[in-house]
Structures are given as C-alpha cells and as structure tokens.
Amino acid sequence: MSNPAFASLIDAIRGHYRNADFIPLHAPCFNEQAKALVNDCIDTTFVSSVGQYVTRLEEEVAAFTGAKHAVAVVNGTMGLYLALKVAGVRAGDLVLTQSLTFVATANAIKMLGAEPVFIDVDADTYGLSADVLQAFLNEQATLKDGVCMHRASGRRISACVPMHTLGFCAEIDRLIDVCSAFSIPVIEDAAESLGSTLQGRHSGTFGQSGVFSFNGNKIVTTGGGGMLVTNDDALAAHAKHLSTTAKISHAWLFEHDEIAFNLRMPNLNAALGVAQMQQLPDFLREKRALAEKYRGWIETIPGLLSLREPKNSQANYWLNGAILPDLPARDAFLQQSNDAGIQTRPLWTPLHRLPIYADCLRTEMPHTEWLADRVVNLPSGVVCHG
Ligand SMILES: *Cc1c(COP(=O)(O)O)cnc(C)c1O
C-alpha cells in the first residue's frame, strides 16, 4: 500500500532530478577535461602505473586535504590493507572498528590475519563511539611494555579503524585521545569523507593515516582507486614501497626487499581523478544545497528525521539519509521508492550480524542496531551538466 507522505518525498526527488524515469543512488559526473586527460594517457601510451597523473593526483589530494603525503592505490580496500600493514598489524592481532560500516573495513583487517573487534557507534556522529571505546579498553585491555594487550585472549590490540559514516565526521579527536592512552594507532577509514572536515581540519588527517576511496559511487571517482594520506614521512615512503612490489629503485635490476604487491593506481585512472578533483568544490556546494532541500522535504513528514551534521564539522553529504520510525516503515519506504524508479537503500547490514563476522569480539550494539533498522540512503549524485 502506498503511503502519501512517502509519495511527496518521492515526487520531490524526481523533480530535483529533472523527472528522469530512473534515479540512481549516486552517479558520477565527468567534465570535458576528464576526456582530454584520459585521451592524453592513450596518446602518450602512459596508461599504466607509471605516468604524470598518478603523482599529480597524489599532490592534489595532499594539497586539498592538508596531508603531508598521499600514496595512490588501486582501491580503498587495498589502501586500508596497506595502512594497517605499515602500522604494524600482524596475524593474530585484534583491530578495533565499527560494525556499522561497509564490509571492506573488516575485510582489510582479515587480509592481514588479524581479527576485527566491533565497537558500537555514537548516536550523533554515526561513527565509532569514543565513550564505548574507552569503556571497552578500560575493562578489557592493558598496556604491557608499551603494547596494548587484550587481557582475556592475550592478543595485541594493534590498531583502531573508525569510519566517517556517509561523510559525517566521527569524533576523531576524542577517539585519538582514547587510543593514545593505550598506544593504539588510529587509521581513519575516510573512504566516504573526501571533503568533510572537523574543526576545519580534513577527515583522514587526524590519525596516523587515512584512506579515501575513488570507487565509481564515491564523491570523486577514478573508476576504481584509493589514496592513503599521512603526515609521517617514513610511513608514506614505506606505503609507497609496499605498493610497488617493494622494488629497490634501480635503472635495470629487479631486486625486492619485502614481499609486496602491485597496488599502485594506473595513470588512466589517475587522469580521471585529476579532472574530478577540479570539480570537487562544485560537487561539495551542490551536495550541501541538496542536503538542505532534503532536510525541508523530510522534516515535513511526521515521524521522519534527517541525518544531522555533527557539531563543529562540515559533512561532504556524500549520501543523504532519512531516519524512518521503525523497521517496517523503513522497508515500506524502500519498497515504494524503488518501485517508483528511485534507487534507495538501507545502511549496510551491521557486520556482527553477518555469519562471516558473527563470532568476533564485540560490545553491545544499541546505536548500531537502531540506525541500521531505520536509516535509508537517498539519491545524492549531482545533477550533471557535463
Ligand atoms: C567504498 C568504501 C571502502 C572501499 O573502497 P573501494 O575503493 O571500493 O575498495 C571502504 N570502506 C568504506 C566505508 C567504503 O564506503
């Protein structure tokens, strides 16, 4: 049965997107420059991982975010893997993260043979809760010779990976304070938050390192790609070395001093990224304007709430969302909007509910469960003028 209040929101969305028959959750928008730079890669034959656009994109992301270094990689997932690897995460370790995230966050931890520990999120930031983290560490962890140990299992706790959910900044300053007291490095999963700032400082630049994704559905895309940012010179150099098969630089010899993979972004993808970075300020402006519109539409519907930018922060509004009153209402809205050709979706199924991660250590999850049962994401791509 169709709900007239939902129908009014659906009509408003359709109107914003110029009455298209199908409105995707997020679609990229390319300018003429993107075509010109990709063509330049083809014309010069520099299509692979050597080429000017890879370093140019690194420089531009570093300048935009204020990070000292940026290392371009094949995607965000492998960026997280690399960030954890250079942080010293090893097989058998525990790594703290949130359950309310895309599966890649936990998969990157597993890729190193470590185990995720799921911590509940905060109700106001939708990211890892500093209070819950503090309580967990106080109860279950101890510092031993400068190393954080999980008392019951005797395992090292070697990193913490908060995620800036949907581009809303997590309480990253408080999380770093909590982790510092236990000597735990913080790696920010900033895959969704390029353009988001907290107290004027860019997400991804608070922790030891941060990782952005340039997947096709993110605010800036390179087709597939990612970027690790850090202010640590040695860490950046090590990450770049490990992303290029740990080959010792030499004009003709092939010598490698670690077992490492080819994770470097190809020039073709980077060319797309350089053109996209020019559009990023416009994307951010348009997304903020759309978020304002959504707030108006959503808050006229009784029982619906919009997602709120946390205090002292600027979200990139990568994906807009609405909070429905309960799970049946959420599902009714998803049905009605998708039937009408408006692509909407729930948040990710919390990872602790997936059979592949059900056995992991975790805290209680009241905020994770509450949000997962109620939040829907709404079409948020920019209206593209080409
Ligand atoms: C998109 C995303 C990733 C992974 O990025 P890919 O570039 O697709 O590998 C990781 N974490 C979160 C939270 C994401 O949204």
244-274 pLDDT, tens per residue?
999 999 999 999 999 999 999 999 999 999 9
The answer to whether residue 384 sits within a structural domain is: no
Range 208-220 average pLDDT: 98
pLDDT at 385: 76
Whether 48 and 155 map to the same domain: the answer is yes
- Which of the four pLDDT bands, split at 50, 70 and 90, describes residue 206? very high
Whether 57 and 143 map to the same domain: the answer is yes
Looking from the CA of residue 75, the nearest atom of ligand 1 is: 7
Whether 104 and 83 map to the same domain: the answer is yes
Whether 121 and 177 map to the same domain: the answer is yes
Q: Which of 296, 366, 355, 317 is nearest to 121 (CA)?
A: 366
Task: Say if residues 241 and 228 touch (Cβ distance below 8 Å).
Answer: no
Q: Please check the confidence at residue 226 and state whether its pLDDT lies above 70.
A: yes
Domain count, the chain: 2
Task: Tally the residues of the chain.
Answer: 386
Whether 266 and 118 map to the same domain: the answer is yes
Ligand 1 midpoint to CA 103 (Å): 8
Domain-ending residue, one of 276, 307, 337:
276
Mutate to test the pocket of ligand 1, among 73, 161, 203, 215 (most ligand atoms within 8 A of CB): 215
Ligand 1 midpoint to CA 84 (Å): 15
- CB-hemisphere CA count at 13 Å for 348? 17
Whether 134 and 248 map to the same domain: the answer is yes
Domain-ending residue, one of 276, 305, 321:
276
Distance from C-alpha of 366 to C-alpha of 374, rounded to nearest angstrom: 12
pLDDT at 268: 97
Domain-ending residue, one of 244, 276, 308:
276
Whether 160 and 214 map to the same domain: the answer is yes
Distance from C-alpha of 256 to C-alpha of 236, rounded to nearest angstrom: 18
Whether 9 and 59 map to the same domain: the answer is no
pLDDT at 49: 83
Could you tell me if residue 212 is left (phi over 0), alpha (psi between -120 and 50 degrees) or otherwise beta?
beta
Q: What tokens does 196 get?
A: 């988001």
Q: What is the CATH number of the domain that holds 148?
A: 3.40.640.10
Distance from C-alpha of 181 to C-alpha of 148, rounded to nearest angstrom: 10
Whether 54 and 180 map to the same domain: the answer is yes
Q: What tokens does 328 get?
A: 């049946």
- Residue nearest atom 10 in ligand 1 by C-alpha distance: 104
The answer to whether residue 118 sits within a structural domain is: yes
Ligand 1 midpoint to CA 285 (Å): 23
Distance from C-alpha of 364 to C-alpha of 170, rounded to nearest angstrom: 19
Task: Say if residues 307 and 298 touch (Cβ distance below 8 Å).
Answer: no
Whether 39 and 177 map to the same domain: the answer is yes
Distance from C-alpha of 373 to C-alpha of 325, rounded to nearest angstrom: 9
Ligand 1 midpoint to CA 208 (Å): 19
Position 68, amino acid: K
Residue-wise pLDDT for 87-114, tens only, equals 999 999 999 999 999 999 999 999 999 9
Distance from C-alpha of 358 to C-alpha of 252, rounded to nearest angstrom: 49
Averaged pLDDT score across all residues of the chain: 97
- Tell me, using a 6 A CB cutoff, whether residue 98 lines ligand 1: no
Residue-wise pLDDT for 14-38, tens only, equals 999 999 999 999 999 999 999 999 9
Q: Please check the confidence at residue 312 and state whether its pLDDT lies above 60.
A: yes
Q: Please check the confidence at residue 353 and state whether its pLDDT lies above 80.
A: yes
Looking from the CA of residue 105, the nearest atom of ligand 1 is: 11
Distance from C-alpha of 139 to C-alpha of 314, rounded to nearest angstrom: 33
Q: Give the residue, 34 or 51, on which the prediction is more confident.
A: 34
The answer to whether residue 366 sits within a structural domain is: no
Range 276-303 average pLDDT: 97
Q: At what angle do helices 267-299 and 4-16 cross, to 10 degrees?
A: 140
Q: Please check the confidence at residue 197 and state whether its pLDDT lies above 60.
A: yes
Q: Please check the confidence at residue 386 and state whether its pLDDT lies above 60.
A: no
- Tell me, using a 6 A CB cutoff, whether residue 163 lines ligand 1: yes
Place of tokens 């500093």: 130
Whether 328 and 180 map to the same domain: the answer is no
pLDDT at 335: 98
Q: Which domain does 239 fall in, by range?
A: 32-276
Whether 94 and 181 map to the same domain: the answer is yes
